[in-house]
Amino acid sequence: MWIPVTLAMYAGMGTLLLGSFVPGAGNVCGIACDKSLEALEQLITVGRDWPGSYSWLAAPPVWWIGLCYAGLAIAVAFPALLPPRRWLIALGTMWVAVALLLSGQQTAALPRQPRPLVCHFVAVGHGISTLLELPDGRNLLYDSGRLGSPLSGVRPVSAALWSRGIKHLDAIVISHADADHFNAIPDLLGRFSVGAIYVSPVMFEDLPPAVKELHDSITRAGIPLREIYAGQRLASDSGTLLEVLHPPRKGVIGSDNANSIVLKIEHAGRRLLLTGDLEPPGLQDVLAEEPLDCDLVLAPHHGSPRSDPGGFADWATPEFVVISGSRSLGDIPTIERVKDSFRIRGAEVLHTAEDGCIRVEVSAGGLAVTTFRPHVRAAPQPVSGTNFLQTE
């Protein structure tokens, strides 16, 4: 592969240097660069399809990588100190072996007893990816996608999972059939094992290209596909309740957004609510139910005004609201008005585009919300006390 890489680099430089002065030579260099990159892509495609050609692993610790570069720097600065080649080969092999060993270690392990419920709202841009770590050790991913290139969503989600020492997901819940909620999942299935994928009964009624690709990738991976709807619970033995509030079994008349899966999570007397892109008429169906006092909610539809922020806040009375989205989509005054709709009702608003990954920890000691950026949003508070991956 170094041959087409080298040719592409020199030909690309030739295009830049000659294109404005000698158009013919610039064209030749441009064609050579293009063909070299095409050959490189074909080689990668062929190699990717060989059995056992690659495996996804978490990166080794930064300090171990730093040691490697420090050693290389010493070798360049003081070549006389280099040992014989056979020793270099042995040292390189040992470094790789230890790196592989360290990459398999859990880098953010939680105490075994007692374990809190931990929820991470990963910053993926305009999209949603929410990781639930249950006290019994099982993990659930609620949505995973973003607008634009799926890889831009795959990378932060993979990094979040690996940083928590997670190699297996017990379940993925896909809220609805919008690409910014699921387009990272096909690639994630190649990096992590998954126990089951849960969707609404109307998820695959229509199969536009992106939805068909998702369905095909689930089928190829051999992962069980199950439907969930309002009234069902995902059972857990950890004192945690996961209940589906919406949509009904036959769905509602309206867009995919209106049929978003709304998931209620209760643990240690606290309540979280994940809402997907819920909007009318599905939103009205949910708000018509008895008000639900929540400690933290995921703002419906990335905080869109169409999700009736004021009415939703009056119904859920949250202390914290998380908006998962991008500041580049929609005008800033509108985003601020949505935030104000929640704030005047007593909620603190966090935005993944501003706060990075948002971590919520629920335990017997209370609820704590922290962000990737160095400021704490809330401290644990005393609370009074209050099932998964197999529908009851």
User: Do 284 and 163 reside in the same domain of the chain?
Assistant: yes
Instruction: Give me the sign of the Cα torsion angle 32, 33, 37, 43.
Output: positive
Closest CA to 255 of 220, 215, 300: 300
User: Do 10 and 95 reside in the same domain of the chain?
Assistant: no
In a domain, 13, yes or no: yes
Residues forming a β-bridge with 121: 130, 358
On average, the pLDDT of the chain sits at 88
Higher-pLDDT residue of 253, 379: 253
- Sheet (strand 117-121) strand order: 225-227, 197-199, 171-173, 139-146, 127-133, 117-121, 358-363, 366-371
Using CA atoms of 381, 117, 282, 201 in order, give the dihedral in degrees to the nearest 10.
-170
User: Do 85 and 16 reside in the same domain of the chain?
Assistant: no
User: Do 34 and 163 reside in the same domain of the chain?
Assistant: no
In a domain, 381, yes or no: no
Indicate if the pLDDT at residue 196 is higher than 70.
yes
In a domain, 377, yes or no: no
Indicate if the pLDDT at residue 170 is higher than 50.
yes
Number of CB atoms found within 10 A of residue 40's CB: 17
pTM across the whole model:
0.79
Q: What is the mean pLDDT of residues 202-228?
A: 94
Question: Residue 96 corresponds to which tokens in the numbers above?
Answer: 């790789």
User: Do 138 and 273 reside in the same domain of the chain?
Assistant: yes
The 10s digit of each residue's pLDDT in 76-133 is 998 888 888 888 889 889 888 888 777 755 444 444 456 899 999 999 999 999 999 9
Please, are residues 378 and 320 in contact by the beta-carbon 8 Å criterion?
yes
Task: Please give the Cα distance from 155 to 164 (Å, whole number).
Answer: 14
Higher-pLDDT residue of 50, 128: 128
Please, are residues 320 and 313 in contact by the beta-carbon 8 Å criterion?
no
The total number of structural domains that make up the chain: 3
Closest CA to 323 of 289, 332, 244: 332
In a domain, 109, yes or no: no
245 three-class SS: strand
Please, are residues 297 and 280 in contact by the beta-carbon 8 Å criterion?
no
Domain range holding 27? 2-48
> Letter for the amino acid at 358?
I
User: Do 124 and 167 reside in the same domain of the chain?
Assistant: yes
User: Do 95 and 177 reside in the same domain of the chain?
Assistant: no
In a domain, 275, yes or no: yes
Indicate if the pLDDT at residue 376 is higher than 60.
no
User: Do 82 and 179 reside in the same domain of the chain?
Assistant: no
The 10s digit of each residue's pLDDT in 2-22 is 999 999 999 999 999 888 888
Question: Residue 281 corresponds to which tokens in the numbers above?
Answer: 């008429």
User: Do 84 and 29 reside in the same domain of the chain?
Assistant: no
CATH of the domain at 265: 3.60.15.10
User: Do 289 and 141 reside in the same domain of the chain?
Assistant: yes
pLDDT of residue 298: 97
Please, are residues 202 and 251 in contact by the beta-carbon 8 Å criterion?
yes
User: Do 97 and 123 reside in the same domain of the chain?
Assistant: no
User: Do 148 and 232 reside in the same domain of the chain?
Assistant: yes
In a domain, 196, yes or no: yes
In a domain, 70, yes or no: yes
